[in-house]
Structure 1
Amino acid sequence: MIPSIRSTYNHQFTHRQYEDFLSGIAAEAGEAPAFKVAETPVFIPAQLTARIQQACDEIVAVILHPDFKQQTRDAIPHELKVPHENDHPHFMVIDFAVCRDEAGDLTPKLIELQGFPSLYAFQELMARQFRTHFTIPDTLCNFFNGLNATSYFALLKEVIIGPCEPEEVVLLEVKPHEQKTRIDFYYTEHKLGIKAVCITELIQEGKKLYYELDGKRIQIKRIYNRVIFDDLHRQQELLGKHVHLFQELEVEWITHPNWFYRISKYILPFIHSEYAPKSWFLHELPVIPADLENYVLKPLFSFAGQGVLIDVTQEDLDKISDPENWILQHKVQYAPAIETPEGPAYCEIRMMYVWPDSSPSPLLVHNLARISKSKMIGVSQGKPQNWTGGSCAFFEQAL
């Protein structure tokens, strides 16, 4: 998006560089990514950097409101509530589409947000490998708040492991070694020393949880949670015998599962910002818009884009029997802002936060980007195209 840097990158790009880049990632992580990694990072100009940060600040202000928990009291499905919720999420992410405003300038538009970790370890690895194999100007940075690779992982260690020993902390997921994001689990283990454990491997004795490591049974004191609980709820009958996590357990959650629901599509109607498209709970919609084609319909509880309706009709609305569980959101028009050697592409930017218990507010630390040539970014579209996929952004400092 920074024209001079984009032009130079495209001109200098070679497929050999790209293959070496992927090999560098695989060598450090222990295996190649199971998902498509884009051939390019995203270069964010200063004006867009400033707008994204302003948008983030306005959204965080909503989350910091003293009545936030009261506002989101109905966000958590009753059957998915987990005891001992803490005061704030340890991780949260905010997703923006890159669009153009009426003046033609690049601007962010809020798509979604989650009180849940993203690929925190992998994104550092990817960004560093981009710098290793391609020419990325030193004036651009993938970190925020003065962090670098060393201080970034020190912060992750503080939040995820805390006062525990690494073997007393597990990264919990459903069938972690079958997940497309498993490279992040393996690199997290490499950097922090914590194992990825499947929910079926947990052992319960009273209120305590254990797992087997090198033939020894070790008590789990902290769970770095990567389980999406509504997804678990859908497939738990297929998992066979496993610990029921919706009970009182002597374990600390990082991040507590309830925050996945509190900070989610559920709060879109509460966010009033020029960078947030207007949204309503369907059952509170004052009047059905005449131009429904300019809206998207989103279920509150979904996974990987399932159930999102891009082209909404009156018939779609008539079919919904639980309108309280749906959001109607003004459609966002992505800009084909990334020039690639094979045509323009769209992108989303995910801003990644860490919230230590010692901090009064979440800290912006890193980012993730998705590049696509279709309007359904992040949803499986079959064989991926060139110059699309998962990526990261390098930001020009806001003026």
Structure 2
Amino acid sequence: MIPALREKYNREFTIEKYENFLAKLEEGYFDIPFRVAETPIFIPKALKEKLIAAGEEIIKLIKQPNFKELTQKSIPANWTVPNENDQPHFLTFDFGICKDENGELTPMLIEMQGFPSLYGFQVHLANTFKSCFNIDASVNYFPNGMDEAKYIDLFKKVVIGKHQPHEVAIMDVDALNQKTAIDFYVTQKMLGVKILALEDIKKVGKKLFYEEDGKKIQLKRIYNRLIFDEVANNTTIFKNSFDPREDIEVEWVTHPNWFYRISKYTMPFLNSKFVPETRFLNQIETIPTDLENYVLKPLFSFAGMGVIIEVTEKDITNIPDPENWILQRKVSYEPAVQSPSGGVKAEIRMMYLWADGEEPKLCINLARLSRGKMIGVRYNADFDWVGGTVGFMEE
């Protein structure tokens, strides 16, 4: 999006450089199962400032004294976890890059999460782009004066807290076989914490333990990567470990309830030029006559599953639980990133860390490029110059 940097990058790009980049990205780890794009995104200062302003508007809502009251119904009754803390530790806001009425690039909120993203991998990805391609010094993947040393210190504070690294673990159902496992390994290398599958953790009384070299070690803090929506139909997995919904003596990073509180459920409460009109389906008295301009989304789904893009009145009337759906005005992505074969649509995820007792800090970003109907790897399998990447922002 910064024309001079884009032209230079495209001119100097070769398949050999890209293959070398992928090999270096995987070196010391394993084959990455998701597509990494051929290019980073070069984000001009004006767009960066809009992205920052949009994020600040959302955070203002989250910090309202009545935010928990507003979002209490977002948490499914059968997935409420006790001992919720006062704040999330992670905030991620996904913005589609669009054009406004003046023809200028602007962000529009697509999705939001009070849940961690690839906080380790994105540093590794950006550094690998820098080492394999000639990235100009006028851009940086860290915003607001952040640098790698400051970032790692803050990341440690958020994830480890007051504990020792061996008392903290990244946890997912089958952690080492997740598509995002490379992020777990990069994070482990960066912070020194354990990587544990759910079944590696055992409950004794109210405490949790894992075993290493024949010794039981108490797990005091969980860097949670387990998404309940993905295991809702298979709760038997908890039988050989522990059920997060029980009253247990462990700290959560971030507490599972925040996954629901900061989500699609939050969007109808936002009134901003950076947020498309969004309403709970059960609160719509009259179905819009221009449904071609809307998208229908289930509140409780992950990675775009269940989204209806071409909405009909029948789709709406057939939904048995309208309280669990939102109707959102469509966002028109601008193919603003120029590849050798034409424009590509982009999405920028602004990623914040929020240490206990402190203020949320914008730290890093994740970007995705798309030629398909939706942003996301599964919708872009047959294209090049698409996939996961990172934004380098003009200083």
Q: TM-score range by the shorter chain?
A: over 0.9
Shift of 1:196: 1.4
2:379 to 381, 384, 391: 381
Shift of 1:382: 6.6
Shift of 1:240: 6.3
* Misfit runs of 4+, over 6 Å: none
Residue correspondences, number:
395
* Paired position in structure 1 for 2:191: 192
* Paired position in structure 1 for 2:88: 89
Percent identity for Structure 1 against Structure 2 = 49
**1:148-163 alignment to 2 at 5 Å?**
148-163=147-162
Question: Which digits, 9 at most, give the CA deviation of each residue in 1:211-259, with x for residues without a partner?
Answer: 1223321100000000111212223346763321111110000000000
Contact 2:224–2:253 (8 Å) recurs in 1: yes
* Paired position in structure 2 for 1:13: 13
**2:250 equivalent to 1:248:** no
Contact 2:377–2:387 (8 Å) recurs in 1: no
1:242 alignment partner, SS class: coil
* Paired position in structure 2 for 1:3: 3
* Paired position in structure 2 for 1:367: 365
**2:27 equivalent to 1:27:** yes
Q: Which amino acid aligns with 2:323?
A: E
Q: Which amino acid aligns with 1:209?
A: L
Contact 1:334–1:375 (8 Å) recurs in 2: no
**2:289 equivalent to 1:313:** no
Q: In structure 1, how many angstroms separate the alpha carbons of the residues matched to 2:377 and 2:9?
A: 27
Contact 1:80–1:230 (8 Å) recurs in 2: no
Structure 1 runs not aligned, ≥5 long: none
Q: Which amino acid aligns with 1:234?
A: N
**1:53-92 alignment to 2 at 5 Å?**
53-92=52-91
CA distance 1:255–1:314, shift in 2 (3 Å):
same
**2:46 equivalent to 1:47:** yes
1:119 alignment partner, SS class: coil
1:224 alignment partner, SS class: strand
Between stretches 211-220 and 289-298, larger displacement belongs to 211-220
Q: Which amino acid aligns with 1:258?
A: N
Structure 2 runs not aligned, ≥5 long: none
Q: Which amino acid aligns with 1:9?
A: Y
**1:200-211 alignment to 2 at 5 Å?**
200-211=199-210
TM-score (norm 1): 0.96
Between stretches 343-352 and 113-122, larger displacement belongs to 343-352
**2:227 equivalent to 1:228:** yes
What is the alpha-carbon root mean square deviation over aligned residues?
1.3
TM-score (norm 2): 0.97
Question: Which digits, 9 at most, give the CA deviation of each residue in 1:104-142, with x for residues without a partner?
Answer: 111100001000000000000000111111111111111
Shift of 1:20: 1.6
Q: In structure 1, how many angstroms separate the alpha carbons of the residues matched to 2:319 and 2:80?
A: 24
Q: Which amino acid aligns with 1:205?
A: V
Contact 1:168–1:221 (8 Å) recurs in 2: yes
